[in-house]
Structure 1
Amino acid sequence: MEANLFQPLVAAIISAAIATRSYRKKSLDLSGAISGFAVMTIHIAVNYRFGAVLLVFFFTSSMFTKYGEDKKRKVDADFKEGGQRNWIQVLFNSGIGTCLVLIAWKLGGTQDYCLDSKVSSVMTSLIGGIIGHYCCCNGDTWSSELGILSDEQPRLVTTFKPVRRGTNGGVTKAGLLAAAAGGSVIGLTFVFLGLFTTNCTFNTALKQLLLIPLSALAGLCGSLIDSILGATLQYSGFCTVRNKVVGKPGPSVKKISGFSILDNNAVNLVSVFLTAVLTSITCLYIF
């Protein structure tokens, strides 16, 4: 088999296995499994490191989504068994990253690049955007899924006033730490695999380690951007009938914060875009 066909075939097999398992485990519904298969195949076929950061995001986020389900069921008005995600959520959380991966493939093929703007500022910028994308996604998911389990009283990120658990824009120390940890795992994965897939000079290879703290910062920054958008452009109210925080106004809902301008998917998309841009620019300066 020709080498240029091997990687796409491996990508398709791995993606099909993961998508099927995720559908059976209720991490994805049918539409989510199909779109997830396409996204995973593209990432892995273009570059194993791109595929790895996507899979780290997917598996760790799915694990933490299912963690503490009994407690989340009592708080989350949109709770779904297994955290089941559909095609809209898949694309809003991976669409920008997939576009960047395809651009990287168009410009550089499947070659694995070091972060080095002197060699290629374009590829360094693209890689930085991809890393920032998944640091934001992973950091925000870890923050949301673990922060809601904290016994600490959440505070609205814009006013620092105490709010109910589940309020958009509500943050805790545990949630912010989780966001930084979620981002750092993405950076650590990318740097570690690069030891085996790239051929950097010693100084350049050593400098790649800076991506780990940068990724932690990107995860935290992405989560904060998401929280600020959630507190201002996303509606939160307390429903006295359901006794839960909800995302839409109604006769039995008392407003907590925000306006009904963006829904959760749109907030995720904007925060991912902004974090990807900021991380991309930062990588050009650092590397």
Structure 2
Amino acid sequence: MESATSWSNPLPLSSLPSPSHSRHPSAFKFMAFSTLHTFSLPSLSSPSSFHPFPLSSLSPKPTSFNPRPLFPRTMHASRIQDAVGGALALVQSSPATWQSALLSNALIFFLGSPILVSGLSLSGIGAAFLLGTLTWRAFGPSGFFLVATYFVIGTAATKVKMAQKVAQGVAEKKRGRRGPGSVIGSSAAGCICAFLTIFGVGGEAFSRLWRLGFVASFCTKLSDTVSSEIGKAYGKTTYLVTTFKVVPRGTEGAVSVEGTLAGILASIVLAFVSFLIGEVGSHEAIICVLAAQIANLGESIIGAALQEKEGFKWVGS
């Protein structure tokens, strides 16, 4: 009972000692001052004092960045594309113009120079360039393709068994590399037809005739070249066309079975190519083949009759 009474009546607050009645009031002041001095508050005037690391270490460092000049390169590529597009549009212009003919020939002659130098001399290439330009202007790409086909087949036939021809003394001069005289002589009739077409001589009524003459002239020349070159290479027996006398290979006016058949086949091939590319119709292609054989026979007769006479040695050259 006594203990219960003691718990129910605790000591009054007035009996507890207060700091003001402490014997050593200066001790409390010393402890408070020491605590404030040890844990100093950060200064509000310095924001960096709130961070454990300086702000300079967190900010990104400037790096050197030099972007490539894309715009000049893009503009340069655009100009090249525009130039190529303009050139292609000029080449494909229809009807053909002198500008398109010159540009097309320059491009084709540049790309085909390895083939050209094998069959033509330097001056011959110049003459062929003029012929190609004239042909493109008159008959467009199809006419140019026809002349190119003639050149490739004729050059290939000339190169057949070249060593044998050289040894026998019947090879073309400069091992078959033809000069401007040969180019102009081979294309003279075709050039006349081209000029007549360009200037519109005879109007629409004659334009088809000039085109037919153009194709027939190259069929004739190709047949003549192939028959002569194959006859020199493979002809077993050659006959003089006027007397059928057996003569050596390479004699002017002489023909052989092998050479004649090869010449006919060459004219058929070129006439067929002309038909495929739309230069002539089927009946006109047949006319070209027949005209080529008649012309070659006439040239052989003239060559056999006049070649050895004084003043006529140029015939057949």
Task: Tell whether 2:109 aligns with 1:15.
Answer: yes
- How far 1:43 sits from its partner (Å)? 0.9
Question: Partner of 2:220 in structure 1?
Answer: 136
1:220 to 293, 304, 317: 293
1:162 to 246, 255, 259: 246
Task: Tell whether 2:155 aligns with 1:62.
Answer: yes
Change (3 A) 1:221 1:15: farther
Question: Partner of 2:276 in structure 1?
Answer: 192
Question: Partner of 2:125 in structure 1?
Answer: 33
- How far 1:158 sits from its partner (Å)? 0.3
Structure 1 residue ranges without an equivalent (≥5): 109-116, 199-204, 236-258, 269-287
Residue 72 of structure 1 contacts residue 148 of structure 1 at CA under 8 Å; is this kept in 2?
yes
AA aligned opposite 2:126? I
Partner Cα distance (1:138, 1:88) in 2: 16
CA deviations on 1:116-138 (whole Å, 9 max, x unpaired) are x9x94311221121122101110
Partner Cα distance (1:160, 1:94) in 2: 30
Question: Partner of 1:43 in structure 2?
Answer: 135
Partner Cα distance (1:87, 1:182) in 2: 23
Work out which of the two has the higher radius of gyration on C-alpha atoms and give 1 or 2. 2
Question: Partner of 1:262 in structure 2?
Answer: 312
CA deviations on 1:136-160 (whole Å, 9 max, x unpaired) are 1100001001111224211100011
Structure 2 residue ranges without an equivalent (≥5): 1-85
Aligned residues with identical type, % of pairs: 24
Find the residue that maps to 1:155 and give its secondary structure: strand
Residue 52 of structure 1 contacts residue 190 of structure 1 at CA under 8 Å; is this kept in 2?
no
Change (3 A) 1:40 1:17: farther
Residue 162 of structure 2 contacts residue 171 of structure 2 at CA under 8 Å; is this kept in 1?
no
CA deviations on 1:197-226 (whole Å, 9 max, x unpaired) are x8xxxxxx9xx2123332222222222122
Q: What is the TM-score with the length of structure 1 in the denominator?
A: 0.70
Residue 143 of structure 1 contacts residue 223 of structure 1 at CA under 8 Å; is this kept in 2?
no
Partner Cα distance (2:250, 2:235) in 1: 13
Change (3 A) 1:131 1:151: closer
AA aligned opposite 1:86? G
Partner Cα distance (2:184, 2:101) in 1: 23
CA deviations on 1:179-201 (whole Å, 9 max, x unpaired) are 2112112211111011xxx8xxx
Question: Partner of 2:164 in structure 1?
Answer: 71
Change (3 A) 1:146 1:78: closer
Residue 235 of structure 2 contacts residue 257 of structure 2 at CA under 8 Å; is this kept in 1?
no
- How far 1:64 sits from its partner (Å)? 0.7
- How far 1:81 sits from its partner (Å)? 4.6
CA deviations on 1:43-85 (whole Å, 9 max, x unpaired) are 1233222212211111100011001112211223454354011
Partner Cα distance (1:217, 1:166) in 2: 24
AA aligned opposite 2:316? V
Change (3 A) 1:221 1:76: farther
- Higher mean alpha-carbon deviation, 31-40 vs 148-157, is at 148-157
Residue 128 of structure 2 contacts residue 183 of structure 2 at CA under 8 Å; is this kept in 1?
yes
Question: Partner of 2:20 in structure 1?
Answer: none
Find the residue that maps to 2:251 and give its secondary structure: coil
AA aligned opposite 1:13? L
CA deviations on 1:217-267 (whole Å, 9 max, x unpaired) are 2222222122112101112xxxxxxxxxxxxxxxxxxxxxxx243345x43
- How far 1:177 sits from its partner (Å)? 1.3
Partner Cα distance (1:174, 1:193) in 2: 29
